[in-house]
Chain A
Amino acid sequence: MARRPTRALLLGALFLLAVGLVAGWSLSAWALWQTEVPDGLDPLTVPDSEILSPDLLDEARSYETFLRVLFLVSLVVVIVALALYARFGGRFVRESAAGRIGTGMLLGMLGLAFLWIVDIPFGLAALWWERRHDVSELDYGTWLAENWLALGGEFLFVCLALLVVMGLAGPLRDWWWIPGGAVFVALALLFTFVSPYLLPAQVDAPPDVVAETRSLAEEQDVGEIDVRVADVDSYESPNAAAAGLGPTRRIVVWDTLLESFGDDEVRVVLAHEVGHHSREHLWKSVAWYALFAFPGAFLIAWTTRRRGGMREPTAVPLALLVFVALQTVALPAQNAITRNLEAEADWVALETTEDPDAARDLFAGFSEQGLIDPSPPTWAYALMETHPAIAERIAMAEAWELRAGR
């Protein structure tokens, strides 16, 4: 008789806990979503024909369509390949003389190797397409070599992740995801902290770029920020990045950007990157990561229970499938989050430089050089775009101009 009320009480407590967690998650997500971009900018649109010439627009659309189809097909193939690996990958246990964790690492690495092999034709096709449209000058051998080395980096990453997960799953069984989530967040913090040193080889920035960055940082009231120039191959697209936390905060500008754009456009880029630091976007990114890491880890722990949980190496192929599937499902949300942060950095850059013409020229230049479709279809926008569409970015510059009464 006494058992039923206790059980009901327990269920009730669990329900309340779940509601509390969902509410806490939603509240945190809402708080992180808030930006300085004013409401009411959305209706403004810029016709694509004002951004690119008709011929270039056609070429950009045809160019991106092929890449989008390739992306979709490769996504399906990757999932199918991982499903097969989840089904049969456990056989590779016999190739290991390592213990539980070492064997798990081997299975994790082989899973990535399998994906690498499956993805090679798509990568080569994409490179062929980029070379055909003069977007890339990278040769196939270099691409393969770089991809091979990148796979080595992925192996290291997966080994570290499995060391954490399987190490915790040993004593904690299916509850590893709670400390595991915390460890992954700590690792993400560490990774963000050291990320400036992981970017391409860097040299001192020209004095005018340093002075400009200092002045923009003062205007955004963010303190001193180091700026460096990444010495990259001439075929790499113009780019820039904000990296680091606290004392390692840094802006890295690709030398191809400095060579391709004028001083005013470069100033917009610098203001955008300083904006990422001044609005704490790197901290926010880690916080967003934390919001996804715990539920993700929980789902992996839950789905692998039938294979003995993450303490068993044979669960690793399934965990890999679940991880990639979760990433795919979360992709639209993750892209929306990064687009939200990028839009705020664009707005802050406009507020700081007060130069919408330079912003317009910059974004149109990006579109022209990289054959970027200014207004991608909604599905591609949701699945593939980490930045606002070019048309949206230019529309924001025009909206700022209107609001400023110019």
Chain B
Amino acid sequence: MSSILRIIVGKFVNTLITLAIATAIITAVFSYQSLQTLQLNAEEELQAWILQMSRQGRPPTEEQIELMRESLYKQYGLDRSFMEWTFIYLRKLLFLDLGNTRTPFIGDSTLVKDQLLLAMKNTIILFMTALLIQTFIGLLIGLYIATRPGGLLDKSISLYGMVSYSLPSWWLGILAIYYFSFKLGWFPSSLKDVYFQVSQIQATGFEAIVEKLKLWAYYLTLPVSVIVLSSIGAWAYLVRNIVIGVMQEDFVTVTRAKGIPERRTLYGHVLRTSSPPIVTYIALSMVFTLGGAIITEAVFNWPGMGLIYWAALLQGEAPLLIGATYILTVLFLLVYFITDLLYALLDPRVRLGGATR
């Protein structure tokens, strides 16, 4: 038992170090950007002051301008050192105290923190739904083709996996919106008002639940299908490879020789043994699709992290960008950490004190 504790502590320390480095990079970018903005503002105010003085017929001398600049810089806090600022911004980042945006991009609040948390919630809703569906269908297809390697379905899935691996999933989103939203009119093209629509439901009791489910299905079908379609090929192929690898092991031959039905061999023994790598890959693929699919969200106007990025880049809202990146990083590392733990718990070789890797 002590060995597993050691593994956990080791992984935890690793994660913390990575988080610290990531935070340092983000903070550096943050303070660099903010200081530039501050300096720009200070210079603007200085120019305004010079203009005002000249209009009053008292154009300031070079000395006066320098003095004014100094006092303005002091007022804006630009006389502090970069390190000092870095610590200030570090604290802001850690507590997500990132101020306000000019207009609310998501929800009603202009507070960056509120918007980020709401976006995170929505992103998780979308991705958990997609991930559940993808895991389930991918496992079924993967197991099916693993028992019939070289078949037509096997070949088409591997080809499909290659195709979907090499195209951007957000492009599929654009195509889906073009065809299913605008051409056929089956689904909404922008998902931003989903909460408003939910709040408009008048029915009560059981009916309200049905109505809500219908509405969510209406809004989520297209993005979820796109995310699932763009990753299911590679995922099913992966399950196939893992399962085929396990099926060539001796213990499977033994279970078959014992006369255990094929179905029970597959689901009881093979799947159980393949579960550690499969679970790891599920978690990792979640991390990777999340990274790439934020643009898919932006394409669909889903009020999640993707929309935050899209809007913040268009409007030049630095705190929102920084905060979004920070939150995503924390989430990534959390998932990594949990994945590692799960792997350790699922794999008896690790659990019972074998090699760490």
Instruction: Answer yes or no: do A and B interact.
Output: no
